[in-house]
Chains A and B, each alone.
Chain A
Amino acid sequence: MFRTALRNVLAHKARLLMTVLAVMLGVAFVAGTLVFTNTISDAYQKSSAKGFDQVDVAVRPKYQESRGDQVGKLSDLTRATLDKAAKVPGAASATGVVSGFTAVADKDGKLAGGDWQSNGGNYWGTKDARYPLVSGHAPHGAGEVLLDSKTAERAGYRVGDTVRLSVNGPVLTPTLAGIFTTDDGNVSAGGSLALFDTPTAQKLFGKKGTYDEIDVKAAAGTSQTALKAGLDKALPAHLAETTTGKQLADDQAKQIADSMSGLKQALLVFAGIALFVGTFIIANTFTMLVAQRTRELALLRAVGASRRQVTRSVLIEAFAVGAVAGVAGLAAGVGIGAGLRSLLGSFGASVPDGPLVISPGTVVAALAVGILITMLAAWLPGRRAAKIPPVAAMSSVHAKATTKSLVLRNTLGALFAAAGVAVVLAATSMDTDSAQGPMGIGAVLLIIGVFILTPLLSRPLIAAAAPALRAFGVSGKLARQNSVRNPRRTAATASALMIGLTLITGMTVMAGSLQTAIDKMASSAIRADYVVSMANRSPLSPDVATRLAAADGVTASSPLRNAESRIDGKTEFLTGVNGSAIGKLTDLKVDEGTFTVGGSQIVVDKDRAKENGWAPGSHVTAHFEDGRSRQLTVAGVYEGNDMINGIMLDNKVLTPHLKDPADMQVMVKTAGGASEATKTRLTKVLGTNPAIKIQDKQDISNSIAQIFTTMLNMLYGLLGMAVIVAVLGVINTLAMSVFERAQEIGMLRAIGLDRKAVKRMVRLESLVISLFGGVLGIGLGVFFGWAAGELLGTKMPTYELVLPWGRMAVFLLLAGTVGVLAALWPARRAARLNMLAAIKAE
């Protein structure tokens, strides 16, 4: 049997090609994911281990929990702590570390690092082992700065140049004292790093006289653990936490591995979708092969092969196909892994160098996935092959495909689909968190139901296309009839396409609705013309708010100043605002009382009022971080949203209690409203600072849209693989159908159907099947998008379903294009068919 099976594989090379390709793509996706994530995490782990070379033990401040009326805070690591640490037996040296956000402008005034990768720090003493200098000298005083070599090169700065940079608002213009190199992961990933001398860094980052961390280097012969023990003994436990360098490296390695495994899982989900689509093609192929070989298989049975042997021969074929596809997929996957890495590099997000990691696990996974998926999908056709009676070998007439009744199938499908719809509908009325499980289960049930029902659905849906097809004359008529001729086959082919389109449409509907909702929320509650914030959302210096308030044409402005407080023994976050202006800058719905902020009068959002039992007139005692307290009165309760919420009080009350006032954003209203000129003026007022974003409502909308567009494009790319596999499926089905119908096509050619019409017939059939899959997919996608939206809607008052008609039209067009492209080769084959060979009787 084994030899027979292998001979069959070789004999049907061409017909198995699409199957191999489909499996191969899925396997390549899996292998590529594994190779890529393994390689990246390996490289990061190596580079992070290197990053901790200079640290034997790190001393970090300890967080003192909030207790009673006392606001929690970090302990201070002072010079005294550092000196104490340096004197511990076995310590060779101690370095104080201070860091924060530092935006560096290049010569054109643009940010040299990314929004999130612009860092600053301190250069310790006159020679800091962490940062070897390439040129220049150590920075000294507020007028000098160092830059990493990559940033200096990119921004075009040389030693002696004046560098424009900003830490929390005001623009600074120190001189570039020197250039250093570093292994810092952010820098190698395209970020920037600016270093000041320690006192300047402490002042700029708001940590006067304290450090974020003290790195202690061990003397020769002292182990990290011994040094840690010494430090633990010398430093008060409530003041400092110590961690060995090795532990830090291990922690970071673990963190990297964790974040990579998240990425890996996400990618594997998409690989799984592609593979799932692939199983339809495999099952279809083997069903067709078995049908075409009915007489051959019956002959095997007639000469004494048992049913099990027949099934096994089909499975051996599947094994061979799966093995070939697995090996090819593995090879392609290694290529994809390598390609992805260099692709990341070309996007500027350079990753640390390292060898390509192809672990034994990857190899095993790729082969196992390829072989198992193929054999699993071929199992049913194999069983069907075993049911062919030996007498079929004797019958001279070509055995007809058994047109088993679809009644059982339809009943089952209807049950599944109905259950799915019911569960999804039930889930939409549940609360968001507990509904996720039922929603997922319902979606899966519905998809399975629709799969099972596709043969039934194919008839009416394809019949609906009949008027359009009639325009193509006899080609259209034959195409329509051919497409419903074998409903199971059509269904499997269309389903493959349906899956990808369901997901793509669902995501698009959800993303579009969410984007609109967030957009509305962002703009509807804001009356201000501009919102000013730091590029990375780090706090702004109060100086920014002061300057904006004094600027020409500004009629009202207010910072949103964040502070922690204790109220009734609980931590509450306060938002300090300019009480006289806030009413002109926001448009929040007031439920109770009045929107008055000033003196002891405050406003609170509805959720907090409900939680604490506050109402207009309630008295609240807030304990601030400096230990003092103040009695406040609730003046009004407003409806908060994701952008603006919490307890709002006047800055005149709040600011005196704060050590380091920091603003999340500043809202500005101008006399002339938002315009290019106003924006330019405000930009100038703030010293043309690259780190500060001045956004009007449109900018906010655009940046929200940008996030969604990027996310959607990534999803489209990942789901594109499933669509490509589906295209292979359409090609496969058509090619096999053309093969099966060779005699018919030969007859049609003989009685006068020309090549063009034959091609058109195959193309139209393909188009009909693809559009059928497209319509089903888009329909299901809209339903899921709607259902998911119902869930989100409970959390977002501004949420409403937005149907992206334009996109949906594009998806349908895509399905049609898929059909036309997939038919190219099969149609050519059909037209080129040898007429004489085809019409000859068997």
Chain B
Amino acid sequence: MTTTPTAGRTTAVAARATELSKIYGQGETRVVALDRVSVDFRQAEFTAIMGPSGSGKSTLMHCVAGLDTFSSGSVRIGDTELGSLKDKQLTKLRRDKIGFIFQAFNLLPTLTALENITLPMDIAGRKPDKAWLDQVIAMIGLSGRLSHRPAQLSGGQQQRVAVARALASKPEIIFGDEPTGNLDSRSGAEVLGFLRNSVRELGQTVVMVTHDPVAAAYADRVVFLADGRIVDEMYGPTADSVLDLMKQFDAKGRTS
């Protein structure tokens, strides 16, 4: 079990948070959601963010993904500093450089599966890279259902469409917010398998928030958050090792 710092690794960084803080409210109602968090998400790495409810794991992801504003510190996606960006520029950044997978699938019911997959390119007014698109669709295994509407697909199939949508525009980084939260274990395993394959075979960068040790075990690295701070980190996790670590936190939480 390695919990040592990772200074030795030298791969390029896809996203980086430095001294990131997020504070809600003022005075007595002041809540610190993120407390000077510094973390790197390296290219071609699959990172899982874990932590109990209210630990700030979702807030961290939202801030790094440009969905939410932060109080202080800095966030970089590639070479772009997010703190100074206006809403319009942030939107453009999300459109061009970031892919999203949500717990509730969030497909547009009026569009077919294929149209949902190419939606980010449609928004940008770009033509999708045909070869790449075919490759992604083949990997996801949805070729027969491209003209179906979301209502005609199962939950697992819908989430696979969502994964394809995130991959299709070749973003620099993909964020997933409990992507398997609404799926049964088999569909969940499939989706996580696709995500891991996209990292291993296509060199994609993925960051995923989850509370499921089994899901976290698909990642290359797990970052643990509690009370708005990073409390631990683990490389090459397995479901058991993650569970063990979580139990330790739980026990610590109870005794302290």
A243 within 8 A of B: no
Please name all residues of chain A whose beta carbon is closer than 8 Å to the beta carbon of B95 when the two chains form the complex: 751-753
Please name all residues of chain A whose beta carbon is closer than 8 Å to the beta carbon of B119 when the two chains form the complex: 474, 748, 751
Closest CB of chain B to A352's CB: distance in Å?
62
A747–B123 Cα distance when bound, in Å, is 12
Interface string of B119-131 (1 = CB under 8 A from A): 1101111000000
Whether B100 and A750, one on each chain, are in contact in the complex, defined by CB atoms closer than 8 angstroms, is: yes
Residue in chain B with minimal CB distance to A755: B87
Q: Given that A400-B151, A749-B91, A753-B91 are known contacts, is A485 also in contact with B110, CB under 8 Å in the complex?
A: yes
Please name all residues of chain B whose beta carbon is closer than 8 Å to the beta carbon of A482 when the two chains form the complex: 110
A751–B174 Cα distance when bound, in Å, is 11
Residue in chain B with minimal CB distance to A753: B123
Partner of B124, one of A481, A748, A752, A840: A752
B62 within 8 A of A: yes
Q: In chain A, residues 723-774, which have Cβ atoms closer than 8 Å to a Cβ of chain B?
A: 743-744, 746-757
Q: How many residues of B contact A (CB 8 A)?
A: 32
Query: Total A-B pairs in contact (CB under 8 Å)?
Result: 78
Please name all residues of chain B whose beta carbon is closer than 8 Å to the beta carbon of A754 when the two chains form the complex: 87-88, 91-92
Closest CB of chain A to B247's CB: distance in Å?
27
Interface residues on A, range: 20 to 34
A477 within 8 A of B: yes
Whether A743 and B106, one on each chain, are in contact in the complex, defined by CB atoms closer than 8 angstroms, is: yes
A360 within 8 A of B: no
Please name all residues of chain A whose beta carbon is closer than 8 Å to the beta carbon of B177 when the two chains form the complex: 839
A219–B29 Cα distance when bound, in Å, is 92
Partner of B94, one of A751, A757, A839: A751
Please name all residues of chain B whose beta carbon is closer than 8 Å to the beta carbon of A477 when the two chains form the complex: 122
A221–B239 Cα distance when bound, in Å, is 117
A497–B92 Cα distance when bound, in Å, is 38
Whether A839 and B96, one on each chain, are in contact in the complex, defined by CB atoms closer than 8 angstroms, is: no
Partner of B123, one of A481, A757, A839: A757
Interface of A (DSSP majority class): helix
Partner of B103, one of A474, A744, A755, A841: A841
Q: Given that A747-B106, A839-B102 are known contacts, is A473 also in contact with B62, CB under 8 Å in the complex?
A: no
A756–B124 Cα distance when bound, in Å, is 13
Please name all residues of chain A whose beta carbon is closer than 8 Å to the beta carbon of B123 when the two chains form the complex: 473-474, 748, 751-753, 757
Closest CB of chain A to B114's CB: distance in Å?
13
Closest CB of chain A to B209's CB: distance in Å?
12
A835 within 8 A of B: yes
Whether B87 and A751, one on each chain, are in contact in the complex, defined by CB atoms closer than 8 angstroms, is: no
Q: Given that A481-B110, A743-B106, A841-B104 are known contacts, is A750 also in contact with B68, CB under 8 Å in the complex?
A: no
B182 within 8 A of A: yes
Closest CB of chain A to B164's CB: distance in Å?
13
A17 within 8 A of B: no
A481–B177 Cα distance when bound, in Å, is 28
Q: Given that A473-B125, A752-B124 are known contacts, is A481 also in contact with B111, CB under 8 Å in the complex?
A: yes
A842 within 8 A of B: yes
B108 within 8 A of A: yes
B181 within 8 A of A: yes
Please name all residues of chain B whose beta carbon is closer than 8 Å to the beta carbon of A474 when the two chains form the complex: 119, 122-123, 125
Q: Given that A474-B123, A757-B123, A836-B67 are known contacts, is A841 also in contact with B111, CB under 8 Å in the complex?
A: no
Partner of B120, one of A473, A478, A752, A757: A752
Name the residue among A747, A750, A753 with the largest chain B CB count within 10 angstroms.
A750
Please name all residues of chain B whose beta carbon is closer than 8 Å to the beta carbon of A835 when the two chains form the complex: 67
A839–B182 Cα distance when bound, in Å, is 14
Whether B122 and A473, one on each chain, are in contact in the complex, defined by CB atoms closer than 8 angstroms, is: yes
Please name all residues of chain B whose beta carbon is closer than 8 Å to the beta carbon of A744 when the two chains form the complex: 106, 108-109
Whether B100 and A751, one on each chain, are in contact in the complex, defined by CB atoms closer than 8 angstroms, is: yes
Please name all residues of chain B whose beta carbon is closer than 8 Å to the beta carbon of A755 when the two chains form the complex: 87-88, 91
Closest CB of chain B to A736's CB: distance in Å?
17
Residue in chain A with minimal CB distance to B103: A841
Closest CB of chain B to A838's CB: distance in Å?
9
Closest CB of chain B to A699's CB: distance in Å?
60
Closest CB of chain B to A835's CB: distance in Å?
6
Residue in chain B with minimal CB distance to A747: B106
Closest CB of chain B to A743's CB: distance in Å?
6
A182–B185 Cα distance when bound, in Å, is 96
Interface string of B45-59 (1 = CB under 8 A from A): 000000000000000
Residue in chain B with minimal CB distance to A838: B106
Q: Given that A473-B125, A478-B110 are known contacts, is A751 also in contact with B120, CB under 8 Å in the complex?
A: yes
A752–B90 Cα distance when bound, in Å, is 8
Closest CB of chain A to B250's CB: distance in Å?
25
A746–B109 Cα distance when bound, in Å, is 14
Residue in chain A with minimal CB distance to B177: A839
A140–B165 Cα distance when bound, in Å, is 102
Whether A841 and B102, one on each chain, are in contact in the complex, defined by CB atoms closer than 8 angstroms, is: yes
Please name all residues of chain B whose beta carbon is closer than 8 Å to the beta carbon of A842 when the two chains form the complex: 104
Please name all residues of chain B whose beta carbon is closer than 8 Å to the beta carbon of A481 when the two chains form the complex: 110-111
A474–B124 Cα distance when bound, in Å, is 9
Closest CB of chain A to B153's CB: distance in Å?
13
Please name all residues of chain A whose beta carbon is closer than 8 Å to the beta carbon of B108 when the two chains form the complex: 478, 744, 747-748
Whether A752 and B110, one on each chain, are in contact in the complex, defined by CB atoms closer than 8 angstroms, is: no
Closest CB of chain A to B77's CB: distance in Å?
13
Please name all residues of chain A whose beta carbon is closer than 8 Å to the beta carbon of B125 when the two chains form the complex: 473-474
Q: In chain A, residues 471-486, which have Cβ atoms closer than 8 Å to a Cβ of chain B?
A: 473-474, 477-478, 481-482, 485
Q: In chain B, residues 105-157, which have Cβ atoms closer than 8 Å to a Cβ of chain A?
A: 106, 108-111, 119-120, 122-125, 151
Closest CB of chain B to A737's CB: distance in Å?
12
Whether B91 and A836, one on each chain, are in contact in the complex, defined by CB atoms closer than 8 angstroms, is: no
Whether B110 and A836, one on each chain, are in contact in the complex, defined by CB atoms closer than 8 angstroms, is: no
Whether B124 and A841, one on each chain, are in contact in the complex, defined by CB atoms closer than 8 angstroms, is: no
A748–B120 Cα distance when bound, in Å, is 9
Interface string of B190-209 (1 = CB under 8 A from A): 00000000000000000000
Please name all residues of chain B whose beta carbon is closer than 8 Å to the beta carbon of A751 when the two chains form the complex: 94-95, 99-100, 119-120, 123, 165
Whether A839 and B106, one on each chain, are in contact in the complex, defined by CB atoms closer than 8 angstroms, is: yes
Whether B124 and A836, one on each chain, are in contact in the complex, defined by CB atoms closer than 8 angstroms, is: no
Whether B94 and A752, one on each chain, are in contact in the complex, defined by CB atoms closer than 8 angstroms, is: yes
Residue in chain A with minimal CB distance to B181: A841
Q: In chain A, residues 785-803, which have Cβ atoms closer than 8 Å to a Cβ of chain B?
A: none
Please name all residues of chain B whose beta carbon is closer than 8 Å to the beta carbon of A840 when the two chains form the complex: 104
Please name all residues of chain A whose beta carbon is closer than 8 Å to the beta carbon of B99 when the two chains form the complex: 751
Residue in chain A with minimal CB distance to B96: A752
Closest CB of chain B to A208's CB: distance in Å?
87
A282–B1 Cα distance when bound, in Å, is 64
Closest CB of chain B to A360's CB: distance in Å?
53
Closest CB of chain B to A757's CB: distance in Å?
7
A743–B108 Cα distance when bound, in Å, is 10
Q: In chain A, residues 459-477, which have Cβ atoms closer than 8 Å to a Cβ of chain B?
A: 473-474, 477
Closest CB of chain B to A195's CB: distance in Å?
79
A839–B102 Cα distance when bound, in Å, is 8
Whether B87 and A836, one on each chain, are in contact in the complex, defined by CB atoms closer than 8 angstroms, is: no
Closest CB of chain A to B170's CB: distance in Å?
14
Closest CB of chain A to B180's CB: distance in Å?
12
Q: Given that A751-B119, A752-B96 are known contacts, is A836 also in contact with B106, CB under 8 Å in the complex?
A: no
Please name all residues of chain A whose beta carbon is closer than 8 Å to the beta carbon of B182 when the two chains form the complex: 841
Interface string of B163-178 (1 = CB under 8 A from A): 0010000000000011
Closest CB of chain B to A182's CB: distance in Å?
72
Residue in chain A with minimal CB distance to B119: A751
A481–B111 Cα distance when bound, in Å, is 8
A842–B67 Cα distance when bound, in Å, is 18
Q: What are 28 inter-chain pairs, A to B, with CB distance below 8 A?
A: A473-B123, A478-B108, A743-B104, A744-B106, A744-B108, A744-B109, A746-B106, A747-B100, A747-B108, A748-B123, A750-B67, A750-B94, A751-B94, A751-B120, A751-B165, A752-B91, A752-B95, A752-B96, A752-B124, A753-B123, A754-B87, A754-B88, A754-B91, A757-B123, A836-B67, A839-B104, A840-B104, A841-B181
7 interchain residue pairs of minimum CB distance:
A752-B95, A481-B110, A841-B104, A747-B106, A754-B91, A841-B103, A474-B122
In the complex, besides A748-B123, A841-B181, 5 extra interface pairs with C-beta distance below 8 angstroms are A485-B109, A743-B104, A751-B120, A755-B88, A841-B102
